[in-house]
Chains A and B, each alone.
Chain A
């Protein structure tokens, strides 16, 4: 995939957590897909990997996590297995999302995540959503906004991670284009809108709350949808 300019990247702190494996699956997906499109973050990650591995290797095990096992028999069983001489090449199936007005080629990792098929639901006002059931703690979905549409004003109780995959959108805080990575914490109230249409990958770790007008009536429903989407029992 060709790399395009991106204005918004995950913070260094997020990239560090991504490298050390401390993030939820959904956020990992969003960052990985961003990195696939962003040379800047690719090289940042190489540096962070070296740093993280160095700390890991040189860490004094202060609370001695003593590892004891029958080492010899474990090693025996391991070296009885054959070594790989060639990397296992996986056929990368090209994944695209076809919307009414456009087809969007997905970053590989998202194409994988979507490989079991997407079921689109209309949320109204020109916005559709397809859930990706992959993270039990967060609601992952593709969101598509038709040209000229806008979401109701809402805020987040938890965090919202959004990766723009195609088109563009704006909200009170800025303008976003392809490969931009947007991370919002609670209390950010916003109302995204799009002129030319926009496809995003979104990760929410708690339900949205609409803050204006009739859309507020949807709040109980949002909560239910969130619970269904992540398949957990949120009280």
Chain B
């Protein structure tokens, strides 16, 4: 956490981290090569799709999952055409929602499995012309598991001395410290920070939310 402490010293002097430093840092670390190999994990592929719109990574995911999606379609619908449509629908959802993937809530396999199940459910109801007031995403809501709803509110009103913030920061889990550092001290955008830390954008956002919630709690209880 040396970077963090150094930067915190800047903050003491009322001198927020200058723009030049983070920009160059971001550029140097996020320009890693994007070539995919067969041994890349599903997660790396999905991150490259989500953070860099990598077609090559998407191709690989398609290769790995389309047959499994098709098999799920056949099991539920017993209809070849519908199952092919499901492959298209599910892989389209993978592409579109890749930036929202959050590794804190499960792995890539369960992410793709659940979105396949959901698309299949909706497709089948549409096909049978059943009422659509309830969709799969209502029945299996994303983040069914987190009961807390921490929203980023009143970030500006944290009237607490910097030395306190520094102390509080060190009480956060390391992963959350890293996220706060990138976004609040280095002024990276969420996308840049996610690419820098090589985590999905969704994960970054949820860690940031948790960190800010925790900080707010610490600040609140300390006074």
Binding site for B on A (CB under 8 A): 3, 19-22, 25, 28-29, 32, 35-36, 39, 42-43, 45-46, 49-50, 52-54, 56-57, 59, 61, 65-67, 69, 71, 74-75, 78-79, 81-87, 108-109, 112-113, 115-116, 133-136
Counting CB contacts under 8 A, is B110 at the interface?
yes
Counting CB contacts under 8 A, is B68 at the interface?
yes
Which one of B50, B96, B106 contacts A82 once the chains associate, using CB atoms below 8 Å?
B96
Counting CB contacts under 8 A, is B121 at the interface?
yes
Closest to B120 in A: A21
A116 to B191 alpha-carbon distance, docked (Å)? 40
- Asked whether, in the complex, the Cβ of B109 is within 8 Å of the Cβ of A21, the reply is no
**In the complex, what residues of B have CB within 8 A of residue A59's CB?**
68, 71
Q: A113-B134, A133-B131 are in contact. Are A78 and B91 (CB under 8 A)?
A: yes
Q: A53-B110, A71-B66 are in contact. Are A84 and B128 (CB under 8 A)?
A: no
A/B interface sample: 16 pairs, CB < 8 A = A29-B134, A32-B139, A42-B145, A45-B145, A49-B106, A49-B110, A50-B106, A50-B110, A53-B109, A69-B84, A74-B91, A83-B96, A83-B99, A84-B96, A109-B139, A136-B130
- Asked whether, in the complex, the Cβ of A136 is within 8 Å of the Cβ of B128, the reply is yes
Closest to B98 in A: A83
Q: Which 6 pairs of residues, A with B, have the shortest CB-CB distance? A: A53-B110, A53-B113, A67-B70, A21-B117, A53-B109, A57-B109
**In the complex, what residues of A have CB within 8 A of residue B195's CB?**
none
- Asked whether, in the complex, the Cβ of B109 is within 8 Å of the Cβ of A56, the reply is yes
Task: Give the contact-size bracket for chain B.
Answer: 35 or more
**In the complex, what residues of B have CB within 8 A of residue A135's CB?**
130
Closest to A66 in B: B67
- Asked whether, in the complex, the Cβ of A32 is within 8 Å of the Cβ of B71, the reply is no
- Asked whether, in the complex, the Cβ of B71 is within 8 Å of the Cβ of A85, the reply is no
- Asked whether, in the complex, the Cβ of A116 is within 8 Å of the Cβ of B109, the reply is no
- Beyond the given A36-B144, A83-B50, A108-B138, could you list 14 further A-B residue pairs with CB under 8 A, ordered by the A residue number? A19-B117, A32-B138, A32-B139, A54-B110, A69-B87, A75-B91, A81-B92, A81-B96, A84-B99, A85-B201, A108-B141, A113-B134, A116-B133, A133-B131
Q: Which residues in chain B, 105-137, are within 8 Å of chain A measured between CB atoms?
A: 106-107, 109-110, 112-114, 117, 120-121, 125, 128, 130-131, 133-134
- Asked whether, in the complex, the Cβ of A113 is within 8 Å of the Cβ of B133, the reply is yes
- Asked whether, in the complex, the Cβ of B133 is within 8 Å of the Cβ of A112, the reply is yes
Counting CB contacts under 8 A, is B162 at the interface?
no
A153 to B139 alpha-carbon distance, docked (Å)? 32
A139 to B162 alpha-carbon distance, docked (Å)? 61
A89: min CB distance to chain B, Å: 11
Q: A113-B134, A115-B133 are in contact. Are A78 and B110 (CB under 8 A)?
A: no
A29 to B84 alpha-carbon distance, docked (Å)? 27
Closest to B136 in A: A21
Counting CB contacts under 8 A, is B175 at the interface?
no
A2: min CB distance to chain B, Å: 9
- Asked whether, in the complex, the Cβ of A61 is within 8 Å of the Cβ of B96, the reply is no
- Asked whether, in the complex, the Cβ of A32 is within 8 Å of the Cβ of B140, the reply is yes
Closest to A20 in B: B117
